[in-house]
């Protein structure tokens, strides 16, 4: 079962969207977006998820706040194409079956707690509903890949030594962990506010999917984008 954000937050985004629809389509003070690059820092609250796996295994991932960096080019007043990368670290609890005697049959369950790291690299397309206004509702789509690291050991620690040009001969230990690249996609609906000629804010409700081998969970959240244009 997947957790979703509260009704109050949904109503808040809805109210902002309605305000954008009612904005005057001929705001003389609004700066044209056409032909401009934009850069932004997305701050995203992502709701936790619960997943059920084979053999009685399960996973509970907590709510968390992530951030990132993005840029895009406004082809015209309505269409923007760009790229963004985001990061997230979230605590989780997992229940997994264990085979203690090596007979390939489950002997019980173990509870594992940890923190996963996820980084997404996504192409972004955005359609702004209104032209020539300070406020406009928008619809956004994202497509790319997500790298997820469980931070659970996948092999014994390994040592390595090398010559560093500054520090001389150095030895260190690292440990492989369970991690993978997965196809990811999602979308958002929200409101863009041009607060100054070169400064804007975007608030949106987001939904994302990550295509893991055993499941494709949906991650719901809310995002604040702080940005500027050239």
CA 141 centroid distance within chain:
13
Q: Residue 165 has which token pair?
A: 């040009």
Contacts of 66 (CB under 8 A, 6+ apart): 43, 44, 46, 86, 87, 88, 89, 118
pTM listed for this prediction: 0.78
CATH architecture of 7-153+181-229: Beta Barrel (2.40)
pLDDT tens-place string over residues 119-161: 999 999 999 999 989 999 999 999 999 999 988 877 888 888 8
pLDDT tens-place string over residues 89-101: 999 998 877 766 6
CA 14 centroid distance within chain:
21
Q: What is the pLDDT of residue 27?
A: 52
Q: Partners of 129 in the beta sheet? A: none
**CB of 58 within 8 A of CB of 89?**
no
- Average pLDDT for consecutive 10-residue bins of the chain (230 residues)? 43 46 46 92 93 78 95 97 96 82 71 91 97 94 96 82 89 86 97 95 97 90 96
Query: Of 121, 113, 60, 112, which is closest to residue 88 (Cα–Cα)?
Result: 121
Domain boundary assignment for the chain: 7-153+181-229
């Amino acid at each position: 079962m997947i957790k979703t954000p509260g009704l109050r937050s949904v109503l808040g985004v809805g109210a902002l969207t309605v305000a954008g629809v009612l904005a005057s389509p001929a705001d003389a003070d609004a700066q044209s977006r056409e032909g401009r690059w934009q850069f932004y820092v997305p701050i995203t609250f992502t709701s936790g998820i619960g997943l059920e796996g084979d053999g009685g295994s399960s996973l509970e991932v907590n709510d968390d706040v992530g951030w990132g960096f993005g840029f895009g080019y406004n082809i015209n007043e309505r269409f923007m194409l760009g790229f963004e990368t985001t990061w997230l670290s979230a605590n989780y609890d997992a229940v997994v079956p264990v085979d203690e005697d090596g007979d390939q049959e489950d002997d019980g369950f173990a509870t594992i707690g940890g923190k996963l790291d996820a980084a997404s690299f996504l192409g972004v397309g955005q359609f702004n509903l209104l032209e020539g206004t300070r406020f406009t509702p928008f619809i956004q789509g994202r497509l790319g890949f997500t790298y997820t690291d469980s931070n659970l050991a996948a092999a014994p620690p390994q040592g390595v030594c090398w010559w560093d040009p500054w520090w001389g001969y150095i030895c260190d230990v690292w440990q492989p962990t369970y991690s993978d690249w997965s196809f990811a996609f999602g979308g958002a609906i929200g409101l863009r506010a041009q607060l100054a000629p070169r400064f804007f804010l975007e608030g949106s409700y987001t939904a994302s999917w990550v295509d893991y081998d055993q499941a494709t969970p949906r991650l719901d959240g809310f995002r604040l984008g702080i940005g500027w244009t050239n």
